[in-house]
Structure 1
Amino acid sequence: MKQVVSIIAFLCTVTLFAQTKVTGKVVDANNVPVPANITLQGGTEGVVADFDGNFIFETEKNPPFVLVISTIGFVSKTYEITENNQNILVQLEEEHTQLDEIVLSASRTPERVFESPVSVERMGIKQIKNTASASFYDGLANLKGVDLNTNSLTFKSVNTRGFATFANTRFVQLVDGMDNASPALNFVLGNLLGMNELDVASVELLPGASSALYGANAFNGILFMRSKSPFEQQGVSAYVKGGVTSQKAAGTNEYYDLGVRLAKAFNSKFAVKANFSYLNGTDWYANNEMDLEMPGATRSNPAYNGLNVYGDEVATTLNFDALAGLPTGTLGSDVVSRTGYNETDLMNYEAESMKADVAVHFKPFDNDFEIIGVYKIGSGNTIYQGSNRYSLNNFLMQQFKLEVKNDNFFVRGYMTTEDAGDSYDSRFAAINVNRYWKGDQAWFTDYAQTYIASRLGIGTGVPLDYQTAHDMARQAADAGRLLPGTSEFQTAFNQVINDPDLATGAKFQDKTKLHHVDANYNFTHLTEEFAEIQVGGSYRQYKLNSMGTIFTDYDGPIDYSEFGAYTQIQKKLLADRLKVTASGRFDKSQLFDGFFSPRLSLGYTLGKEGNHNLRASVQTGFRNPTTQDLYIGLNAGAAVLVGSAPDNLDRYSVTNTLSSSGQLVTGQTEATVYGRDAYENAYSVRSVNQGMPTAADVSLVKPEQVTAFEVGYRGKLKSVQLDISGYYNQYQDFISTENVLVPLYGTVGDNSLSLLALQNGDYQVFQAYTNSAVDIESYGINAGLETKLFKNYDFDINYTFSEFDFNTNEDPDFRPSFNTPKHKVKASIGNEELFKKLGFKVSWRWSDSYFWQASFADGNVPAFHVVDAQLNYGIDFLNSNFKLGATNIGSNEYYQAIGTGLIGSMYYLSWTINP
């Protein structure tokens, strides 16, 4: 009897722990293995097929049950398992529409674009391979609703939904979860520390506010770039691209770009990969000599201030009557500027970019738990246009990351460091080369003496006319001036660009660091019967270290930090047709009160076949003031930039020489004013220009907020796919800057001494960082269509409308810097198999005219259109793809911002191995 009981107990135990085993292989339509994901429908168990497409799936669940086979780029497929030890062959079909593709960013969980709760744009491996642009990053310009503003050949700035500048602090870019913005500048330098295109698995872009999940600064949008896993994509890949760039100003110049990717999985637990790429070319020359003070005037204007001419910003009012002791009105007075240098004589136009990274992946257990260590480095030369035009030479950024994750959670920490290298400010390079040769006082003295003598005919007996006298005065003051191309000029130039003191030099110096930690846990495997629930948080610390050249860190680095926490609940109702997503995040900066960002979105799938989806969402976003908004202390020439952090106001000071009249009034030759004066003792520029000086009302900067409403529709109508959305944004406390005039003596509003200072020209222009009191609204529409023409021609077209509005009477000094065309149209047509192994793609973009407003210069940007095209041919036995491409076909040179070089054309041939 005891033996019978033991046998029964043993059989029960075997039954209890028995496993169902399924083996199989996953291939595509051409029987090429696919390393897809195999998961239990309605459960959380799953495996990944190996590189040969083979898999073994084991579960305690007894048949029958259903497996879901899926991977990015293919249509998911289900397979019913009816018995133990069943062997299956699964053939996946390639996705034919972007609506079917899987995205992770919209809800921090995998879902189809079709059912995403908010607008999302995506580039997968197929789109990256077939882009008509010169690189995958340039190809972002073809996405719906995206603006890719060209600062230089190697620095493009991504933006959505308006309010764009090259210093785009309202847009976030993440590479494998790491923010790759410059820690000091707080914006992304294009793809400088981005990705080698051989390693790009997918690119996703969320337009609009995303603070509920991603925190501060995910305000206008967020871009996600994800790399390939060395476990899933192994081997050696390489590309080489060569050609020329063509621009009227710069001529025809060589361009080349090359890269390599190495990936190896030594076993199921350990894998490594390394990437390297290098680009070299000639940047777009900026040579616009338009007079900013008198548009249409020539360089004969005594106060000439050319757009791409620097050094002529140094100007003063010369009262010739007072200087000559003549009666008022005899010769009068004029504003006179020093002779400047063209940007083409000052800027390093060698565009260069080097990127490299190494990643180690370790799976210590036989499951999805993974430890990842990453090192990234990016260096190069590019041009950045902010308040001035900066030549960023040997600019270096590095990132170090350690991440632990599995399918349900991740914890990552990373550090970003930067070194400005040999970078310099081209405007101050010109100013101080001039001063190296001859000081301002001596130059203006020579000018005034010659002008007075010429007008009065002293020494010749023949008085000269106004213009001739000014020409003679400039010629005399410039006698012996250092000329570009001479050794004397080069000696002075080299000394200036290696001097970080802007009183005598132009070097841009910075070694700022950023530390960041974030984590996320998805409880869905525990709560799936109720809802999908996630929680997460982040912590960030800045360590500003410009050595007193940009920030007011004269006594050592400035530290400050911020943190945040969030949660999201997602629930499907009504037979899974209705998806409800609710998110909320709380963020706190060391310098400001905390801020709560909620989001609520609804998505409803309708139609018999579920081919139509409606979505609506409302969310709030916020943006913390940048490091520069808070701690900058920089004399940019036209104005002194001073951040408004309370502990910054008294650290910055500037000393000016008083006018002769001011010296008589005060009995002093110099006067010092402080950053605090810009906020507490200043005049509004507008009121002074109107002849009615009044005190400026400039408050200390605080976070800005947005409430964003969006509705949209996605649908499949036979062979046509549609994606349409509309948005409306309401902004509060919009971060802006305001130029104010600080008198060098007197107190604004208390006496007439400060008014006398204005009259005598004894004032300092400050750019203060503040918030606009006016409520701002922006709104727009994005509509896209994609289909197949003539059975196998891929065609897509999209349209974007963008507009903003605010009451100018409420804040007449507000500069919105919307910088976005009202209308944009983009279209492309292509065929991967025009003939056997031969494909092509042609893309066209048109932009309406718009007004560009930024600290460097304002002006109208004319409408433009661009055509890019490529032909590609695959050779299987070489594992190669050849591409012949051209951008801006027809050489219709255009620009996207006032002050940049005209964008020319590029012609190239590339060879990619193992694409």
Structure 2
Amino acid sequence: MRVYLLYLSLFFCSISFAQSTISGVVTDGNDQPIPGANIMIIGESASTSSAADGSFNLKSNKKPPYVLNVSSVGFATQKITVTSASQKISIVLVSQDTELDEIVVSASRTPERIRESPVTIERMTIKDIKRTASPTFYDGLENLKEVQMNTSSMSFKSINTRGFATVANTRFMQLVDGMDNSSPLLNFVLGNLIGISEIDVQSVELLPGASSALYGANAFNGVLFMTSKSPFDSQGITAYAKYGQTNQKAAGANEYYDYGVRMAKVFDPHFAGKVNFSLLNGTDWYATNYDDLKVAGRTRDHHSYNGINVYGDEAVLNLKNRNPFGSSAYNILPNEDITRTGYNETDLTESKVKNIKIDFSMHFRPFGDERLEVIWQSKFGFGNSIYQGASRYNLNNFFMQQHKLEFKGKNFFVRGYTTTEDGGQSYDMTFTALNINRIWKSDQQWFQEYGAAFGAAATGQVPGITNTQDMHAFARKTADTGRLIPGTAAFKNAFNKVIADPNVLTGSKLVDNSRIYHSDANYNFKDLFTPAEIQVGGSYRVYQLNSQGRIYTDALSGINYNEYGVYTQVQKKLMEDKLKLTGSLRYDKAKNFDGNFSPRVSFVYGIDEQKNHNLRGSFQTGFRNPSTQDQYIGFDIGNRVLIGSAPDNLNRFSEVRGNNINGSGVISNYGIGVLGANTKTLTGVDAYSNSFTERSFLAFDSAYRSGPPSGLNTATQLLVKADVSLVKPESVKAFDLGYRGIFKGFALDVNGYYNVYNDFIGGYNVITPYYGQAATNPNNTTNQSGNALANRDFRTYQIYTNTDLTVKSLGAGLGISKKIYEDFELSGNYNYSQFDFDKEKDPDFEASFNTPKHRVKATISNDKIIGNLGMTISGRWNSAYLWESTFADGMISEATVIDLQANYNFTSLKSILKIGATNLGGKEYGQVIGAGLIGQQYFVSWTITP
């Protein structure tokens, strides 16, 4: 801590140097301030950026006269001669349609005009952030073409492009100042929880589609690049305060606030530094979907109910097959599954959202310019949120940190960083409810009381009960007598005890102390070799997984996993620079898999001399290594266990099922007779090699229950053995064509893509019997597996594998923008997406495309409607689509969302007042089955600039 305080103290020290300072303001033709304009001295490294009110201060060791170069996206570059240090500089930039001249870096790992980008690319600038009608810039990314947002929590949103979207999106990469934001344990991005502060954003670039050729195996569906402001270019103190209210039917009206500060200082031409702090606090969207997970229309009063946002009802028993009540009751008990009474999600979490981000960096330029810069950067993220995977998890006081050391120059960078996370007091909601119930009354006792009460009602011992539904209601009421009630002291005590205990048999705490070590480097030979631009680079990463056996199979020993990659790229311009050809090749190798090559070839062709009309096309073969989850997970989520398929993981995982273990599956009297014991140890080998498909089990179960007892042999003929191979890398062949240009004042960007996936990675459930051999159409007179399933002596596992079928996806996008009446700017985009997967040939595999076929977005804005008053209206619409996930499946309804903001620039106060509202129509909508519906959000913010 003292070290951090020492770093912070640097920003409050005063160091004197022989410098001159000039100041001024940058505006447009309507006297509207231009924020983020770049001001630099030609021939020198000194530069800065204009603040929100257009003002700037530029320090330099060079004495006037000299020439300033002033530039900003959307405006023609100006050159201003400075003759005196006391000269007040007033710069007016002339607006021009320069959409094709914007500079991007991500497409080819080198600065290039967007017109020369060989692939589709989207961009958000400082100007766009000011205009966004969303509560944060990260929320505003949803309005970009190609972007699909999946909201698990108000503070946990995952971005996806081109289909196959999930909250746990392992196919998409997010980089902040070159650092991967992915969780070390889970391998996916946690939204902006450890990302970047809104007032520190310099630019955001989105590269949709396969990008493995340059960015490695994890950049399978796209990459989001967020770059922060350099303290050399943007110094001073910036602060904002944001206050608002969220409205949702389930949660009501709740306040939230968000504030932050950025401090940056240039101490001399060699040294600069900055610090950022931000805090978000509010109430999350309540998750209140009480539909049954499996049976549409099943209500809460059904004896087999298992609600989507209800937990603890995963404890299930078939009363008749278990026969724990004696022979007199056996014949009258129902041959149906009974579930325990669960707790709502709102009973198990306060639904509070909190996110604190702190980062600081120090920048050292040994030569006083950009030839070499050494950067030390540290980032810290704390808070609460809700994450949805195979269950719903309360991320409570989680902590994640990143530390980076980077050397960079004009044509190279070398960086190394580490990411570490701590789960804090996070917990699994399923096991929280299960074990609160068990603290009060064991599963065995509860089901015995239920069965005894049902038997008494069925034999006429309870007056007034004549139908089966009332018998079930009486039995549940009897078994629930004395149940812990949310809000009571007894419930709170049980809750606190459970969430502090990591043992799934008695608790629900999630343990995570994992980390990654990553290094990468790149060198561009363009100044050494002029016939073509050649780049080479590579990366190396080590995972150290540590969940102490709670999530991964690392109870006895840690799991270390490494991967590396090398790449090269060649670019060449031909035909008087009208044609640019690019070829890339990357080789990646991960610990458990053979290496893979990812080639990419692309072209950009300027149709006209001015390059106002440009065609582009690319083809690449990308691949994705199975994530550490796919390989090493061993996660009990109550009604099933997730088991990774790394060869050594199958024996690393084992669990004991049986009567003497509370909540781990009761073995029937029949099963005890076969096993000769009341426990059974299962391993990952059993799950992958001795299991039935879940679909065939459901067919078997229905036939067996509806038929006579003698029909067991007939029912077993419906069983199908799960034919599962160990997971291996998946690959894609990606074709992308596009046009970008200006036509009659309209800036157009049109693209189409076609992807062919092989060995697509996914997971599905299998049913593993405690005894007998799993086989297709087993003969139950010689195979005990049918009896195991009939007597509920089985375990459900979710395993990871590849489908043998080819998965295809295609899509098209159109982006359009134009300045219309006076200073109004209109922009809009449309995306079409679809995929092709023959479900009938592999019915147990879920591809989880999770993407609407049609999406439309539009924005109209004016930065100067009246005086310094600006306004933006944004709208988006998506068609309905199917959502498939390991947590729940269902349809996402179509949604129309309108957002609005107005801002006023107080030039004399160097501040901006902004008022906004989202989802003005008020109709709540969902983006993830199982997450809370999204309501309305109102906010007002005050931002003060240097």
The answer, yes or no, to whether TM exceeds 0.5 is yes
CA positional deviation for 1:100: 2.8
- Aligned residues with identical type, % of pairs: 53
Q: Are 1:430 and 2:439 matched, yes or no?
A: no
**Shift in Å, 1:306:** 1.2
For 2:298 and 2:843, locate their aligned partners in 1 and report how far apart those are by CA, in whole Å: 28
User: Do the aligned partners of residues 663 and 611 (structure 1) sit closer, same or farther apart at CA in structure 2, a change above 3 Å counting?
Assistant: same
Displacement after TM superposition at 1:761 (Å):
1.4
Matches within 5 A, 1:77-88: 77=77
Show CA shifts across 1:48-95 (max 9, x none): 54665688999xxxxxxxx996755255659899xxxxx999975456
Give the C-alpha shift of residue 689 in structure 1: 2.7
Q: 1:224 to 1:440 in 2, by over 3 A?
A: same
Match of 1:664 in 2: 673
Q: Is the 8 A contact 1:272 1:359 kept in 2?
A: yes
Q: Which residue of 2 aligns with 1:899?
A: 930
The residue type equivalent to 1:339 in the other structure is T
Q: Relative to 1, partners in 2 of residues 1:331 and 1:541: Cα closer, same or farther, differing over 3 Å?
A: closer
Letter in 2 for 1:743: P
- Per the alignment, residue 557 of structure 1 pairs with 558
Q: Is the 8 A contact 2:74 2:98 kept in 1?
A: no
Q: Provide the residue aligned with 2:722 in structure 1.
A: 696
Closer, same or farther: CA 643–161 of 1 in aligned 2, 3 Å: same
- Give 2:120's aligned residue: 119
Which of 377, 380, 386 matches 2:389? 386
1:149-170 Cα deviation digits (max 9, x unpaired): 1111101110000001100000
Structure 2 match to 1:357: 359
1:746 aligns with 2:749: no
For residue 496 of structure 2, what is the amino acid of its counterpart? N
May I ask how many residue pairs the two structures share in their alignment? 873
Q: Does structure 1 residue 843 correspond to structure 2 residue 874?
A: yes
Q: Distance in 1 between matches of 2:109 and 2:76?
A: 19
Alignment of 1:406-485 (within 5 A): 406-458=409-461, 460=462, 464-485=466-487
Could you tell me which amino acid in structure 2 is paired with residue 882 of structure 1?
Answer: L
Matched, 1:687 2:690: no
Deviation digits for residues 435-465 of structure 1 (CA, Å, limit 9, x no counterpart): 111000000000000100111023x576632
Question: Normalising by structure 2, what TM-score?
Answer: 0.89
Give the deviation of 1:212 after TM superposition.
0.5
Work out the CA distance in 2 between the residues paired with 1:80 and 1:899. Answer: 58
Distance apart, 1:680 and its partner CA? 1.3
Distance in 2 (alpha carbons) for counterparts of 1:77 and 1:129:
21
Instruction: String of CA shifts for 1:125-149, please: whole Å, max 9, x gaps.
Output: 0001110101000000000010011
Q: Which residue does 1:73 correspond to in 2?
A: 73
Distance apart, 1:757 and its partner CA: 1.3
Residues 683 and 694, structure 1, Cα contact 8 Å, conserved in 2: yes
Q: Would the aligned equivalents of 1:97 and 1:721 in 2 still touch at CA under 8 Å?
A: no
Matched ranges for 1:398-409 at <5 A: 398-409=401-412
Q: Which residue of 1 aligns with 2:540?
A: 539
Alignment correspondent of 1:42 = none
Q: Quick one: distance in 2 between partners of 1:24 and 1:598?
A: 49
One-letter amino acid matched to 2:275:
A
Residue-by-residue CA offset, 1:510-533 (whole Å, 9 max, x unaligned): 0000000000001111122x0111
- Aligned equivalent of 1:84: none
CA distance in 2, matches of 1:617, 1:497: 51
Q: Say whether residues 1:505 and 2:507 are aligned partners.
A: yes
Contact 1:250 / 1:285 at 8 angstroms: preserved in 2? yes
Q: Give the aligned partner of residue 735 of structure 1.
A: 761
CA contact (8 A) 1:783 1:800 kept: yes
Distance across 2 between alignment mates of 1:549 and 1:188? 21
Stretch of structure 1 that moved more, 97-106 or 335-344? 97-106
Which residue does 2:851 correspond to in 1? Answer: 820
In the alignment, the residues of structure 2 paired with residue 491 and residue 449 of structure 1 have an alpha-carbon distance, to the nearest angstrom, of: 30
Tell me the amino acid that sits aligned with residue 930 of structure 2.
Answer: G
Please state whether the residue corresponding to 2:366 is helix, strand or coil.
coil
Per the TM alignment, residue 609 of structure 1 is displaced from its structure 2 partner at its CA by 2.8
Which is worse superposed, 653-662 or 93-102? 93-102
Q: Which residue of 2 aligns with 1:525?
A: 527
Q: How much has 1:892 moved relative to structure 2?
A: 1.0
1:321–1:48 distance in 2 versus 1, CA, 3 Å = closer
Note closer, same or farther for the CA distance 1:485–1:571 as it changes in structure 2 (3 Å cut): same
CA offsets 1:530-571 (integer angstroms, 9 cap, x no match): 011111000000000001111111123211100001111111
What are the Cα deviations for residues 858-909 of structure 1, in whole angstroms up to 9, with x where unaligned?
0011101100000000011110000010011121111111111110111111
Comparing 746-755 with 845-854, which one deviates more in the overlay? 746-755
Structure 1 CA distance for aligned equivalents of residues 464 and 520 of structure 2: 78
5+ residue gaps, structure 2: 1-21, 49-55, 82-86, 659-666, 701-717
CA–CA distance in 1 between the matches of 2:442 and 2:600?
59
1:845-884 alignment to 2 at 5 Å?
845-884=876-915
Aligned residue identity for 2:448: T
Q: Distance in 2 between matches of 1:98 and 1:616?
A: 19
Cα distance change on mapping 1:833 and 1:89 into 2, 3 Å: closer
**Which is further off, 738-747 or 286-295?**
286-295
Partner of 1:228: 229
Please give the residue correspondences for 1:11-30 in structure 2 after superposition, counting only pairs within 5 Å.
Answer: 29=28
Tell me which moved more, 248-257 or 283-292. Answer: 283-292
Q: Distance in 1 between matches of 2:598 and 2:295?
A: 47
Counting only pairs closer than 5 Å after superposition, residues 518-667 of structure 1 correspond to structure 2 as 518-528=520-530, 530-657=531-658, 658-667=667-676
Q: CA deviation at 1:645?
A: 0.9
2:741 — aligned with what? 715
Instruction: Indicate if the aligned counterparts of 2:859 and 2:874 stay in contact, CA closer than 8 A.
Output: yes
Match of 2:320 in 1: 319
Partners of 1:126 and 1:321 in 2: CA distance: 66
Distance 1:97 1:599 in 2: 28
Does 1:777 find its partner at 2:777?
Answer: no
Q: What secondary structure sits across from 2:297 in the alignment?
A: coil
- Conserved? CA contact 1:320–1:452, under 8 Å: no
Partner of 1:767: 798
Tell whether the 8 Å contact from 1:26 to 1:35 is kept in structure 2 after alignment: no
1:682 to partner: Cα distance: 1.2
Q: 1:80 to 1:456 in 2, by over 3 A?
A: closer
- SS of equivalent to 2:319: strand
**What CA distance in whole angstroms lies between the structure 2 residues aligned with 1:389 and 1:583?**
41
How many Å separate the matches in 2 of 1:512 and 1:386? 18
Cα separation, 2, equivalents of 1:825 and 1:549:
43
Q: What letter matches 2:772 in structure 1?
A: G
Name the CA distance, whole Å, in 2 between partners of 1:35 and 1:327. Answer: 83
How many angstroms does 1:291 deviate by? 2.2
> Compared with structure 1, are the counterparts of its residues 78 and 283 closer, same or farther at alpha carbon in structure 2 (3 Å cutoff)?
closer
Post-superposition offset of 1:808: 2.4
